[in-house]
Amino acid sequence: MTPAKHKRAEDTLSSGVRSRFLYDAHGLVIDSDIHLPELNAHPAGSPPDSVALRIQSMSEQDVPVPTASQWRARAAYRGWLRTANLPTGTLMKFADSSTFLISLDGQQIDACCGEQALAGQFRHNLLHQAIPYALIAAGKSVLHGGAIDMGEGVAIFLGASGAGKSTIVQAFAAQQRPILGDDIVRVEATSGVAMAFPSYPGIRVWSDRATGDTLLPKLRIGASDGLCFAEKVQPIRAIYHLQSGRTAAPTFARVPALTAAKLFFSSTYLAHVVGRDAATDNFKTLLDIALAVPVFTVKYRRSLSSLPKVTDAITAHFQKVRMMESICAPHTQVAP
């Protein structure tokens, strides 16, 4: 029997006639028949110019059953996520029994909450896995990282799982700096200018006070907790790749553009689950961003006591990057 605190995702989906919800996320309007409280509601009385993504719930009976040859697997995701290439799109099946079918053009997600799915985990899989893949399938680019409005543009933080991306974002948010996201950042490059789009007002951090409706002990911090959210697209001024270091004071090193591009590719979502054309467009955008934005590795000692020094050092470094950028010729950026 499912414990009361582990509210099942199927309980969040109403039966019979379903309501429709409009949300603003990633610079797009999303139409969903699944309530997603993490997202910002589209303003009432303001009809959207267009809906970029539709999310439709489906029953387990309607979930396609792939053949053995249609399943694709990667060692790093076995036991957690399996994907299959179908004529109608990409099927994503998670270990918690959440299942999503992403259309070939990335404009629709059919979502099924399995019998064992927990409410928070089901929505997390939808928000942090299915939607990013849909964005890439639709020709957009997404980085797996956090983003902060530093006052003169955006700083993006990348890194391996556990590198401290959410912790750094939370530390800046505690200084009342608006966030654009702590896990997903939609990015775009036009005429040599790189831009970041806000995702939704929330941060997930490790905590022993987690609600228990996800498979990981993470606590979600949102607008009701005083979190500031940047609601407009903004230029990206610097990108930081977080790494573990031994010194109390963070160290910074400029990353060459081609190396940065490879880093971006490893920090994007599983582009292999979408078509070749969409993956190519995604990688081209990431390469353009690597050429337009300075990228730095940041090595720092990971401890709560060192966080103030880390955020102060990153702030000072960011300001120096902006100063050097302002005295250089247009579209030319020099590492501090």
- The DSSP string of 262-294 is HHHHHHS--GGGS-HHHHHHHHHHHHHHHHHS-
What pTM was computed for the model? Answer: 0.85
Average pLDDT over residues 41-70: 90
Q: What is the CATH number of domain 143-327?
A: 3.40.50.300
Q: Which of 30-34, 46-50, 259-263 has the lowest mean pLDDT?
A: 46-50
pLDDT of residue 301: 85
Does the pLDDT at position 162 exceed 90? no
The whole-angstrom separation of Cα 43 and Cα 24 is: 9
pLDDT of residue 115: 84
Q: Does residue 57 contact residue 15 with C-beta atoms inside 8 Å?
A: no
pLDDT of residue 48: 81
- pLDDT tens profile 290-330: 999 999 999 998 887 788 899 999 999 999 998 887 776 55
**Best CA proximity match to 164, nearest among 183, 178, 180:** 183
Q: How confident is the model at residue 247 (pLDDT cuts 50, 70, 90)?
A: confident
pLDDT of residue 49: 82
Most confident segment among 24-33, 68-77, 112-121, 212-221: 24-33
pLDDT of residue 80: 82
pLDDT of residue 316: 96
pLDDT of residue 2: 37
Mean pLDDT rounded to a whole number for the chain = 83
Residue 38: φ, ψ to 5°:
-70, -25
- pLDDT tens profile 172-217: 998 999 999 988 899 999 888 999 999 988 887 655 554 555 555 5
pLDDT of residue 88: 93
CB atoms within 10 A of CB 102: 30
Q: Does residue 154 contact residue 147 with C-beta atoms inside 8 Å?
A: yes
Distances (CA, A) of 331 to 74, 126, 148: 39, 37, 22
**Best CA proximity match to 38, nearest among 184, 159, 186:** 184
pLDDT of residue 224: 60
The whole-angstrom separation of Cα 149 and Cα 154 is: 5
Average pLDDT over residues 208-229: 62
| Cα-based angle 14, 17, 21 (whole degrees, multiple of 5) | 70
pLDDT of residue 76: 47
pLDDT above 90: percentage of residues in the chain: 49
Does the pLDDT at position 334 exceed 80? no
Q: Which of 21-30, 76-85, 141-150 has the lowest mean pLDDT?
A: 76-85
Q: Does residue 243 contact residue 164 with C-beta atoms inside 8 Å?
A: no
pLDDT above 70: percentage of residues in the chain: 82
Does the pLDDT at position 234 exceed 90? yes
- pLDDT tens profile 91-126: 999 988 899 999 999 999 999 998 888 888 899 899
The domain ranges of the chain are: 12-138, 143-327
